Amino acid sequence: MAFNRSHWHTLAYDGARRLVWIVDEDDGAVSVTNDAEAVVAELYQRHPACRFIYRDSMGNWDELLHANGVFAGFAPARHLAPQ
């Protein structure tokens, strides 16, 4: 679980592909979508060279884009959903 306002957990990590997948807990707390800046900052501290893929509260897989740990937007990432 994150140390910020949103509640999420890491689902998987693939060091070879430099991907981290997280899942929004959807438990009534602030969503990952609405807390994206803080989530990216925390993930970047743990995995600085990775892309961050998350499942939102609607079940969609999207990427949290970033530039050196600074949130830069969202991108569809259904093609990167974990198998």
pTM given for the model: 0.89
Q: Say if 25 falls within a structural domain.
A: yes
Q: Say if 30 falls within a structural domain.
A: yes
**Domains identified in the chain, total number:** 1
The domain of 19 spans: 8-74
Q: Say if 83 falls within a structural domain.
A: no
Q: Say if 2 falls within a structural domain.
A: no
Q: Say if 81 falls within a structural domain.
A: no
Residues 6+ apart with CB under 8 A from 13: 19, 20, 21, 47, 50
Token couple for 80: 């990167």
pLDDT at 57: 83
pLDDT(54) > 70: yes
pLDDT tens digits, 25-43: 888 888 999 999 999 999 9
Q: Say if 65 falls within a structural domain.
A: yes
pLDDT at 2: 43
Q: Say if 82 falls within a structural domain.
A: no
Q: Say if 1 falls within a structural domain.
A: no
